[in-house]
């Protein structure tokens, strides 16, 4: 969950504004815009470490009723994702590969390295709702929000742009709007295919890790730890593996579309 101080996490935002969803397969070139080829993936496991390096919220993230911490789930999925993507020949770098605190600026700085110019950035989180649990445990599973959502940068000139820039002090370097959206759609389509998941849509927010990334970037809230049933699933290795596979497949779908585009534009240039 991203309930960090606004100073750190998002410099304010049009958070929660869902944007229209259409799948990776149905995306046409006007949806996707010019996509750059993908040579590697910066995988960002949300949170990490322990107080007093930062607040409990920043370090641990959301916590399931079992005590399972978001920071451990994000790292588990990140490592599985690394292994899947490496097998497929992608370059892969993790912003953290251990239980340690990494600032948002450091995370974005990894994505900003010149050698990652043709890469994409995927940040992994789990969610939490503050809705009070009432009644029985059985009904709580149904009352509590569940499902995944994927965040991208708001469109330029969007409602929150001015306020965000004025209040944050963070420069916005991400200028990959069509690519962000295409990547989010491809991953959402694969996550949506996991039995039992709920697709809460693609949303927009000025998260620091998104806005400070010079490459296509998405932030995945892969499920609600606060939902008893979903929280229990997220803590299992089998489900972490499913999530990692879906994300890897989504990245591959995106990369395939990007390379088709690159081939098209090359041949177009060749003809003219």
**Which residues bind to Zn ion, rule: CB under 5 A?**
1-2, 46, 61, 125
| Residue with the shortest CB distance to Zn ion | 125
When the beta carbons of 46 and 223 are compared against Zn ion, the nearer one is: 46
Q: How many CA atoms lie within 13 A of 71 on its CB side?
A: 20
Provide the minimum distance between the beta carbon of 253 and Zn ion in the complex, in angstroms, as a whole number. Answer: 25
- Proportion of the chain in helix, strand, coil states, percent, rounded to 5: 40, 15, 40
Provide the minimum distance between the beta carbon of 124 and Zn ion in the complex, in angstroms, as a whole number. Answer: 9
When the beta carbons of 104 and 153 are compared against Zn ion, the nearer one is: 104
Provide the minimum distance between the beta carbon of 3 and Zn ion in the complex, in angstroms, as a whole number. Answer: 8
When the beta carbons of 58 and 249 are compared against Zn ion, the nearer one is: 58
When the beta carbons of 1 and 202 are compared against Zn ion, the nearer one is: 1
Which of 57, 37, 59, 41 lies closest to 49, judged by CA?
Answer: 59
Provide the minimum distance between the beta carbon of 125 and Zn ion in the complex, in angstroms, as a whole number. Answer: 3
The residue count of the chain comes to: 272
For the beta sheet containing 148-152, the strands, ordered from the edge strand earlier in sequence to the opposite edge, are 17-19, 199-204, 148-152, 217-224, 119-127, 40-45, 91-94
């Amino acid at each position: 969950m991203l309930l960090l101080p606004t100073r750190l996490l998002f410099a304010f935002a049009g958070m929660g504004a869902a944007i229209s969803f259409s799948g990776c397969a149905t995306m046409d070139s006007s949806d996707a815009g010019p996509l750059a080829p993908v040579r590697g993936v910066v995988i960002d496991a949300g949170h990490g470490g322990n107080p007093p390096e930062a607040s409990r919220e920043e370090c641990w993230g959301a916590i399931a009723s079992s005590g399972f911490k978001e920071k451990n789930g994000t790292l588990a999925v990140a490592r599985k994702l690394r292994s899947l993507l490496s097998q497929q020949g992608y370059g892969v770098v993790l912003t953290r590969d251990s239980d340690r605190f990494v600032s948002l600026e450091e995370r974005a700085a990894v994505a900003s390295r010149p050698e990652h110019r043709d890469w994409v950035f995927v940040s992994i989180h789990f969610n939490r709702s503050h809705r009070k649990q009432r009644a029985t445990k059985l009904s709580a599973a149904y009352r509590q929000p569940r499902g995944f959502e994927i965040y991208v940068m708001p469109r330029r000139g969007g409602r929150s742009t001015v306020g965000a820039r004025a209040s944050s002090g963070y420069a916005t370097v991400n200028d990959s709007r069509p690519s962000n959206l295409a990547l989010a759609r491809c991953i959402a389509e694969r996550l949506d295919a996991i039995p039992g998941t709920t697709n809460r849509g693609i949303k927009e927010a000025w998260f620091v890790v998104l806005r400070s990334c010079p490459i296509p970037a998405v932030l995945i809230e892969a499920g609600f730890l606060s939902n008893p049933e979903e929280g229990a699933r997220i803590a299992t290795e089998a489900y972490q593996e499913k999530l990692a596979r879906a994300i890897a497949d989504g990245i591959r779908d995106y990369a395939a579309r990007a390379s088709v585009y690159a081939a098209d534009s090359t041949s177009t240039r060749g003809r003219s």
